[in-house]
Amino acid sequence: MLVGSVKRQLKQAIPAYVIWILMIILSAVLSPDFRSVGNISNIILQATPLAIVAIGQSIILIMGGIDMSVGSVISFSTVIVATASNLVGGFGSFAVAVLAGLLVGIVNGLGVVYLKIPPLIMTISTGAIVKGLALLLLPSPGGNVSESLMSFFTASSGCFSVAGVFGILLYVIVTVFMHQTRTGRYLYATGGNPLHARQSGLAYNRLTILSYALAGLFAALAGIILAARSFSGDPVIGDTYNMDSVAAAVVGGISLTGGIGSVVGAFAGSYILAMINNTLNMLNVFAYYQYIIKGLILVLALLVFQLKRRKKYED
Amino acid sequence: MDKNIILAGKHLRKEFHGNVVLDDVTILCKKGVVLALVGENGAGKSTLMNIISGGLQPDGGEIEFEGKPVKFRNSHHALQMGIAFVHQEFSLFDDLTVGENIMLGSEPRRSCFTDSHALHRQAQKVLNELDYQIDVGRMGGGLTPAEQQITEIAKAWVTRPKVLILDEPTSSLSKVEVDKLFRFIGRVKESGVSVVLITHRMDEIFQVCDETIVLKDGVMTAVEPVGNVTKDDLISKMVGREVSNTFPQRCKSVPKDAYFELRNVSVGKRVQNISLRIPKGCVTGFGGLEGQGQRDLARAIFGIEPFTSGQVLIGGEEKSIRTPGAAMKAGIGFVPDDRKTEGLVLPLSIEENMSVLVLDRIARNGILSRKRVRAEAQKGVDRLRIKLSSLKQPVVDLSGGNQQKVVFSKWVTANPEILILDEPTRGVDVQSKLEIYTLIRELTSKGVCILLFSSDMLELIGMSDVIHVMYEGRISGSINGCEATEEALMSLSSGVSPTVKKEG
């Protein structure tokens, strides 16, 4: 059985799962198209990149930071996969993209820790630089993604593709990491109270750099899957993921002020957002209304959790 | 070399910005000995403890651990060597359980995963050693101050330290809990650990301690075995500074009609049922040890964290003050204790800081005139003789004393009827102090009601017409300013039954 603070962190994810399940039931009842294998595997395919980048964003938010460069890292990663395949092969381009993501994350972490640049500013800046690099390498969508990489990730049986299973696997690993290792515990402690974390002798600098590196890594992985799915590189495809990854984490019950929530919630949050997109697309709602609706959902989620927490501390 | 000495700090010296806060202090922590460290607020106790536990580096002197000289890199390093310091301020995590808080940094593991069951079992064992029952599964955020204190001690004890430093561990504990803690200290001592206990309560020294060190203004005034001293000896060694002529003459006649009145006001449990009648034109001092509710009272009057019950009357009229804005409308001003974060906007210029409260008055149709802002600021600068190169200079560049003068003059231009001063001269040089005191007198002669919250006893005695001493959220006694002595204030502060005549 679960013992300790993990129980409480996991509880934060319950509302997201309730909403998600209600959405599934509602859609299944209302729309026969929804139940088709094709649509379900489509949703999983759409949700997986967001779910993966949301892992990294969640770790950062729990540690008390924020990463607004993940969108650009995703774009950059698709561009690398689409341009490097010819030189280093499909899985070589995979490795290059992962290393690039890690590098951007480490730069973010170093800037936050040693240059003391606020996370928001630091990551927006690196995001701009990385976006520029992506546009430089591949000014317009296209390029050449390795066939083997694509067929590997999109291979599927029934509703589940390799990409979808890969995403779930990452969630299992990170959930165990966050809740069952010392480092995970210290990340929570750092986000909960950075001052006390330093006073307690936790390696604040190392923990911060680590979490930004992980965010870069997961953004790169999301980009690789996105490239495999669309079979092309796209220098601006990641732009919406900055806000969407934060929204997925927040809808999943992770606090923007750090220390509270679980990646388990971000998983449901990602699927909720993906399903909303999916439904709006099926209903032929214009893209700009989709932005408005997503924005409203984020505000609503923030409001609900904020009110709940304020009540808790007033008691 | 005495083999019983575990940790020795020799001829330690520490300066902050040119102020000597510790001078030639030697402290010896011996095996199985409980050492009491006593002294007034600001005598250097915390500084000394921070130095021997790695939190601060000394400017002079050396530290020896088990006979060998050491240099602690930081408090984590000292903790690894076996020196645990339980600070007065708690550093627990709200969102970790009691068990996880206690075991932070020494979590038991199975391969590379933490073992939550073992962790909570071990934490429970440590709490049992302390003979204190807290459910280890509870969250840190829901603990009472007493439970937090015990958890902090358990967190320190779990590292099995050789030297255990406790900074006022009993201030939030009940009588029964204090007895339990002292029995624990007794057992710890038996096992050969050296304990340092900082305390203000005289009784406790005689209950558990073997030796005492008295600090006064950063200098050791006594090192004695407890058997050789009495309570009065200790108090007289802690105090006894000369009341110099730095304080301007107090005004002769004190009006008796209450202008500002508090009726049974409380702030949760931190301030309890205080009733006061404060006349115009006098300085009302509030003293006591740190954390007895003075800060909460000051902030509640100004509406930062409002009173939870009771009434506030100004000029006979009941006022509801729930925000600082409402307090200002009612004619209350507040000079906060932390000027850098609460009193000033550091990157803004002197003139901008000074005029920030009276912009309505200076502006014409909502538009600010630079000229009038400047004129207003110049008045303040002249009145307080603030040393500056230009009114456009950012306040961050000023010295502490001049910064405090800017805060003062900001409030003086707003013409408050009641002015709350929270530690108005902390970190301020002597000359500026004198000027601030003179200004306070000027204000009272104009009929302003001054509420002076200070941990500096001489300042309270020198400036106040009446001094109220707070202890555990209540007023433990009030003394007329002319008759007050440090000894009398100290006894009231440390909860020793008041022997002085109560005022009014």
CATH code, domain carrying A301? 1.10.3470
On whether both B28 and B84 belong to a single domain, the answer is yes
Q: Which residue of A has its CA nearest to B106?
A: A182
A314 touches chain B (CB under 8 A): no
Q: Stretch A127-133: mean pLDDT, rounded?
A: 96
The answer on pLDDT for B23 being more than 60 is yes
**Does A166 fall in a domain?**
yes
**Does A27 fall in a domain?**
no
ipTM here: 0.85
pLDDT of residue B404: 86
Mean pLDDT of chain B: 85
Chosen from A5, A179, A309, A313 to mutate, greatest number of chain B CBs within 10 A: A5
Q: Stretch A154-178: mean pLDDT, rounded?
A: 91
B144 touches chain A (CB under 8 A): no
Percentage, residues of chain B above pLDDT 70: 93
On whether both B326 and B183 belong to a single domain, the answer is no
Interface of B with A in 67-96 (CB under 8 A): 74-76, 79, 87, 91-96
The domain total for chain A is 1
**Does A144 fall in a domain?**
yes
A176 touches chain B (CB under 8 A): yes
Residue A169 has a CB neighbour count (10 Å cut-off) of: 10
Chain B residues in contact with A2 (beta carbon < 8 A)? 116
Q: Which residue of A has its CA nearest to B121?
A: A3
Minimum-distance CB partner of B113 among A5, A9, A181: A181
Chain A residues in contact with B99 (beta carbon < 8 A)? 4
pLDDT of residue A4: 83
**Does B314 fall in a domain?**
yes
Q: Quick one: tokens of A169?
A: 């696997």
Per-residue burial over B130-152, b = 16 or more CB atoms within 10 Å of its CB, e = otherwise: bebebebbebbeebeebbbbbbb
Closest CA to B165 of B9, B14, B12: B9
On whether both B53 and B163 belong to a single domain, the answer is yes
pLDDT interval class at B499 (50, 70, 90) = very low
The answer on pLDDT for B200 being more than 80 is no
On whether both B188 and B306 belong to a single domain, the answer is no
Chain A residues in contact with B50 (beta carbon < 8 A)? none
On whether both B85 and B159 belong to a single domain, the answer is yes
How close does chain A come to B97, measured CA to CA in Å? 6
Contact assessment for residue B197 and residue B204, using Cβ atoms and an 8 Å cutoff: yes
Residue A89 exposed, middle or buried by CB count within 10 Å (0-12, 13-18, 19+): middle
Closest CA to A145 of A75, A83, A221, A218: A83
Contacts of B364 (CB under 8 A, 6+ apart): none
Contact assessment for residue B29 and residue B67, using Cβ atoms and an 8 Å cutoff: no
A9 vs B95: CB contact, 8 Å cut-off?
A: yes
Q: What is the CATH number of the domain that holds B186?
A: 3.40.50.300
On whether both B445 and B473 belong to a single domain, the answer is yes
Give the CB-side neighbour count of residue B471, counting CA atoms within 13 A.
16
Q: Which amino acid is at B246?
A: T
On whether both B216 and B155 belong to a single domain, the answer is yes
**Does A310 fall in a domain?**
yes
The answer on pLDDT for B433 being more than 60 is yes
**Does A191 fall in a domain?**
yes
Q: Stretch A14-40: mean pLDDT, rounded?
A: 86
**Does B303 fall in a domain?**
yes
Minimum-distance CB partner of A185 among B87, B107, B139: B107
Minimum-distance CB partner of A260 among B95, B112, B113: B95
| Tens digits of residue pLDDT in A193-237 | 998 888 888 889 999 999 999 999 999 999 999 999 888 999 999
How close does chain B come to A285, measured CA to CA in Å? 42
Closest CA to A208 of A224, A219, A194: A194
**Does B339 fall in a domain?**
no
A188 touches chain B (CB under 8 A): yes
List the domain range (segments joined by +) for residue A97. Answer: 12-19+39-314
Q: Stretch B77-102: mean pLDDT, rounded?
A: 90
On whether both B264 and B231 belong to a single domain, the answer is no
pLDDT of residue B244: 52
CB pairs under 8 A between A and B: 74
Minimum-distance CB partner of B105 among A2, A8, A201: A201
**Does B327 fall in a domain?**
yes
**Does B437 fall in a domain?**
yes
- Secondary structure (H, E, C), B160-201: CCCEEEEECCCCCCCHHHHHHHHHHHHHHHHCCCEEEEECCC
On whether both B301 and B188 belong to a single domain, the answer is no
**Does A33 fall in a domain?**
no
**Does A182 fall in a domain?**
yes
Chain B residues in contact with A9 (beta carbon < 8 A)? 95
The answer on pLDDT for B185 being more than 60 is yes
Chain A residues in contact with B137 (beta carbon < 8 A)? 3-4
On whether both B150 and B62 belong to a single domain, the answer is yes
B100 vs A5: CB contact, 8 Å cut-off?
A: yes
How close does chain B come to A99, measured CA to CA in Å? 25
Chain B residues in contact with A176 (beta carbon < 8 A)? 113
Angle, helices A241-251 vs A37-63, to 10°: value is 80
Strand order in B309-314's β-sheet?
A: B271-279, B258-267, B309-314, B317-319
pLDDT of residue B241: 53
Q: Stretch B227-234: mean pLDDT, rounded?
A: 80
**Does A277 fall in a domain?**
yes
Q: Stretch B175-187: mean pLDDT, rounded?
A: 90
Q: Which of A94-98, A188-192, B333-337 has the lowest mean pLDDT?
A: B333-337
How close does chain A come to B388, measured CA to CA in Å? 30
Whole-angstrom Cα distance, residue A182 to residue A201? 13
pLDDT of residue A101: 97
On whether both B210 and B262 belong to a single domain, the answer is no
The domain total for chain B is 2
The answer on pLDDT for A311 being more than 80 is no
B113 vs A259: CB contact, 8 Å cut-off?
A: no
How close does chain A come to B366, measured CA to CA in Å? 33
Q: Stretch A14-30: mean pLDDT, rounded?
A: 89
List the domain range (segments joined by +) for residue B187. Answer: 5-92+143-239
Chain B residues in contact with A192 (beta carbon < 8 A)? 93-96
Q: Which amino acid is at B377?
A: A
